[in-house]
Chains A and B, each alone.
Chain A
Amino acid sequence: MNATFHTALHLLWTFSQLSVLGFGGGKGIIPQMHRDAVQTYHWVTSAQFTQFYTIGKLVPGPTTIFAALIGYAAMPKTPLLGAAVATVGMFVPSSAIMMGADMAWDRFANSPWRPILARGLAPAIVGLVWASVLTIARGAPAGVLPYAITGVVALLTLRTKLGAPVLIVLSGIVGIIALR
């Protein structure tokens, strides 16, 4: 088995697992994705992981599209293939489940388990989001100014109507001036 094929299989398998476990819109998968992509397979560094996540937040569409960038970096000789494989892994399994669920709609529509499942999983997902904060922080610059920017952005998100792209771009401008 050649190296390209080997890496492609690992990408597909890794992101497919994350895809089917991506409850809560995929918010909870970041810690596991970091463990797989950074620690297990060394596809990207911690800093790259955080920057790819940031790009995922900055562009329109689902944040988890940044899986494509991990695939891109994982296969330096054939980056577009890597990106395609990672994206297929990330999006196709969950999409197939969605299609299947809609076909089984009659059994699913009034099931009392639907709200119980949604509400019951929520605490674990929120806990995973806090773990994601620590995961992303590992690849982000440390210090008084970075922490201050993080705090101000969090506050502005909660207290104003400013959107994610605007806040990220403003943080970037501060970074160009003061975090070179």
Chain B
Amino acid sequence: MSASGAPVLAVRPSLWNVALVFATISSTSFGGGQKASIRQQVVKQGWMDADAFLEGLELAQVLPGPNILNLAIFCGQRVRGIPGAIAAFFGASLPPLAIVLIAGALYFKYSDNPFVRGGLRGCAVGALGLTVANALELSWDERGDWIRLLLLAITAVVVSLFKMPLLLVLVVFGGIGVLHEYLRARRQAAI
């Protein structure tokens, strides 16, 4: 890395290396820990500077798709172009696919066993708890703005009770949210 802080690529990793880096991260770390692992890898190895990484993280979160996969693609693309993005895609998606297929094969073989069934039922209510925590945490972030809270509540009710299609939900409630945010940003800019 350059002393001036300018984004200088110290290394140009091979495609195999790109795939391997993301294969390692995707098969060994979970959730939030993965972002830290990717950051550590790409910034400390000199693939890109911290600012470029943060831009990539933001883009990965705005666009549809798993954040980690999007982030891996961004990093791969920055160091090796489209081939790098594709290498990162395979690296980040094949190991989890292999692991989930092994888990699935075991599931189909043993899910009739009462102990396995009990364990799975326990795991399921645990996973439900994680989702509840996620929903609470995300809702808490919205506490400052009653319009956003109202939008959130209406979305939850409408989707649960009336089975509103996802596309329509995003267009209508996403659209209202974006309009509200646009007006807020404009008011703020006017002050």
Which residues of A line the B interface, CB within 8 A?
A: 17-29, 31-32, 35, 50-66, 68-69, 72-73, 80, 83, 87, 91, 94-95, 97-99, 101-102, 108-109, 112, 114-137, 139-141, 146-147, 149-158, 163-165, 167-180
Contacts and interface: CB of A to CB of B under 8 A. Distances in A.
Given A173-B119, A180-B118, A23 B125 contact: no
B73 A123 contact: no
A26 B61 CA distance: 10
A99 B156 contact: no
B156 A61 contact: no
Contacts of B179: 120
A171 B123 contact: yes
A24 B99 CA distance: 24
Contacts of B103: 55, 58-59, 69
A164 B130 contact: yes
Contact of A21 (B28, B128, B167, B173): B167
A61 B119 contact: no
A111 to B, nearest CB: 10
Contacts of B174: 23, 120-121, 124-125
Contacts of B96: 59-62, 65
A65 B100 contact: yes
B1 interface: no
Contact of B121 (A20, A80, A163, A175): A175
Interface string B146-174: 00110111111001100101110110011
